[in-house]
Amino acid sequence: MRVLVTGSSAGIGRATAGLFLERGHEVAGFDVQAATLDHPSYTHHVVDVRCPQDFPRDIKPEIIINNAGVQDSGDDLGVNLHGTINVTEFYAFGGRSSGDMGTGTSALPTKPAPQVRAVVNVGSASGHTGSEFPEYAASKGVVIAYTKNVAGRLAPQATCNSIDPGGVLTPLNQCVMDDPKLWGRIMDLTPMRRWATPEEIAEWIYFVAVANRFMTGQNLLIDGGEAGRSEFVWPEE
């Protein structure tokens, strides 16, 4: 299948693009950075997801993976939220970008592009718990809600779900991974006592996009149990 992966030059995006390539799919990658993958079935586009006017118009993805994201960047809403909307509306519906929404110029398209099979948004545990930086948590929370919006508009032709990771071993998180004190505090909050690898999250994305054909509008929290951590308090006998 033809797959579009945004944020494909590092972290979860790179692992996801690599997994789809390994399993025989044709992948187009979007990133503001240069390509870090070299494969005959991979095409890289240096694209900012905030700028739909620059999106290539000659690709018709069957699967769309919205992974491009930033953290505490000064424009988390622009990249994480509006970027996800821009890519989805452009390639899944052939519609307007997020900047055009609310202008009253026309209704949102209701019919998906005929080739679309699945959309997977990469959210975050922060969208469930509200933790982390304010704009980051807000951006991911709205991505979770937008996933449900898209699922309703794509059905019954296609599915849309989000994969919402907790801690992942990526360069973005290196500052806490390299600090023994902070890392210890994080592990105390994580029942599985580790973080996920990008490759593990890629496997979830692949399953939801390819194997799954019935679940839609769901937000899968993949956080090693951190958000649901609780302790039963009771008197000792």
pLDDT per residue as tens digits for the range 47-105: 999 999 999 999 999 999 999 999 999 999 999 999 999 999 999 999 765 555 544 43
What is the overall mean pLDDT for the chain? 92
My answer on whether omega of the bond before 156 falls inside 30° of 0, hence cis, is yes
List Cβ neighbours of 134 (8 Å cut-off, separation of 6 or more). none
Q: Would you state the pLDDT for residue 1? A: 97
Extract the tokens encoding 104.
């009253």
Q: Would you state the pLDDT for residue 172? A: 84
Collapsing DSSP to helix, strand or coil, 188 comes out as helix
Q: Would you state the pLDDT for residue 106? A: 47
Mean pLDDT of 134-148: 97
Q: Which of 23-32, 71-80, 139-148, 169-178 has the lowest mean pLDDT?
A: 169-178
Distance (Å) of CA 30 to CA 59, 79, 125: 12, 13, 24
List Cβ neighbours of 113 (8 Å cut-off, separation of 6 or more). 60, 91, 92, 93, 94
Cα separation of 4 and 10, whole Å? 15
Closest CA to 227 of 198, 199, 192: 192
* pTM, rounded to two decimals: 0.91
Cα separation of 40 and 52, whole Å? 26
Collapsing DSSP to helix, strand or coil, 14 comes out as helix
Extract the tokens encoding 129.
């718990």
Task: Choose between 113 and 96: higher pLDDT.
Answer: 113
Collapsing DSSP to helix, strand or coil, 152 comes out as helix
List Cβ neighbours of 165 (8 Å cut-off, separation of 6 or more). 12, 122, 124, 125, 196, 201, 222, 223
Is pLDDT at 160 greater than 70 in this prediction? yes
Is pLDDT at 227 greater than 60 in this prediction? yes
Q: Report yes or no: 34 and 50 within 8 Å, Cβ to Cβ.
A: no
Cα separation of 161 and 50, whole Å? 21
Cα separation of 157 and 24, whole Å? 23
Mean pLDDT of 133-154: 97
